[in-house]
Structures are given as structure tokens and as C-alpha cells.
Amino acid sequence: MKKKLRYFPRYFLITLIDLLFFHGFLLANTTGKVRIIHSISSHFSGELATVLISMLPIFELRGGIPVSIQFFHLPVATAVFLSIIGNLIPVIFLLLFWEWLAGILSKNKKIKIWIDKLQGASLKRGKVIEDYKELGLMLFVAIPLPVTGAWTGSLVAVLLGLSFWKSFLFIFLGVCIASVVVTSLTLLGKLGAIIATLVLLSLLVISIIKIIIDRNGRNENT
């Protein structure tokens, strides 16, 4: 447990440093992403486009909020609400149907190789979820970096056999925290990155305290 506890703050401090110094990726205008945004926005209203963009694994909420505020010029509250909804829609389907879908697709050898690689990479990225279950799941989703998010968190939750309702609840909480982080980055730039970092650091401290309390409680019961 002590080894895991040492790993826990190190993992999140590294990701927080990434968030502070590389927050520009949230608004990066790569050619492929811009084409997708323009394609979606040309066929749908700004509100529906925000939901659809937030559903995509390459964007999720970390792309939906900046695009809806800066590109579609939606009110902040509307942008955040629609992005959260969009980000959660695929979570429900992944938690309920991924095992069934993977089983069917794995009948094809080439697709099975891809699925095995996807699941292996997801488990490697989601080590904090394996160690801390639902709490780790929430924190994993809350940090809006390319290797984290609701899509990967949902997949890892399924692979680890976590319950649907607990997984959905903690992913929802993580998505809400991520929305605060991404909105701060979108509206306030570097100042927003500092605010977001402070929020996540506070969450990290609270989580570590909870882990220590739970560990001491288990020790007293043994």
C-alpha cells in the first residue's frame, strides 16, 4: 500500500505539470480536427454540434467546451452543459455493451489484434484506476489530457469489472471536474491553467487523505 501511495501523488503531479505547461493542446488547430469540426458544424446547429464533438474520443469535453465557446460562441453555461451531456453519452454504451461488442468483433483476427492492443494500452494508462478503483476512475477522468478521459476510463472500468452504477457516478464526477478545468483554461488561458492546477491539487490532497483514512480504518479492523 505504501508503494501505491507513493505512486499516486507522483502520477498526478506529473500530469498536473503537463496540464500547466502544455494546456495549449486543448485549443490546438490541427488540420484533421479542424476538418472534423467544420464538417459537423456545417450540418448541425452549434448546440447539437457541441454534443456530437464531445461524444468523439479525439475531442471529448476537452474539445467540446473550447469549440462551443470560441467557434460557436455559445454561452458558457450552455457550452459546459451540452459538452458534459455529449461526453457522457458514449460512457453509457461503453459500460453496458463493450464486452458484448468486443466479443463479436474479436471473431475477426485482424480486429481482435486491434482490440487487444486497445485494451492493453487502456489498462496501462489507467493504472491509477486499477489501484484505487472508483476514486482513481474519477481522478483519471478529471484530468483532461489526451491519454485520459471518459472513453478510456469507461473501457478500463469494464476491463476491471467495476459495477456500472459506481463507474458511471464517478465518471460523471470526473467529467464535471474536467469541465471546470477546461472552462478555466478556455476563458483565462495561463491564469486558467494555474487555477485548474490548484483545483486538481486540492482534489489530490483530499483523495490522499481519504486513502490514508481508509487504510488506517482497515488496519484497525484487522
Predicted pLDDT at 165: 93
Name the nearest CA neighbour of 65 among 186, 163, 191, 164.
186
Predicted pLDDT at 25: 45
- Gap between the Cα atoms of 209 and 207, Å rounded: 5
- Grid cell at residue 152: 478510456
Predicted pLDDT at 73: 92
Predicted pLDDT at 70: 86
Predicted pLDDT at 139: 83
Distances from the Cα of 150 to the Cα of 42, 78, 90, 116, angstroms: 26, 20, 8, 19
Proportion of the chain in helix, strand, coil states, percent, rounded to 5: 85, 0, 15
Predicted pLDDT at 168: 96
Q: Contact 40/33 with Cβ under 8 angstroms?
A: no
pTM: 0.77
Predicted pLDDT at 27: 47
Give residue 99's identity as a one-letter amino acid code. E
Residues of the chain with pLDDT below 50 are 1-14, 17-27
Predicted pLDDT at 42: 82
Q: Contact 60/151 with Cβ under 8 angstroms?
A: yes
- Gap between the Cα atoms of 31 and 12, Å rounded: 30
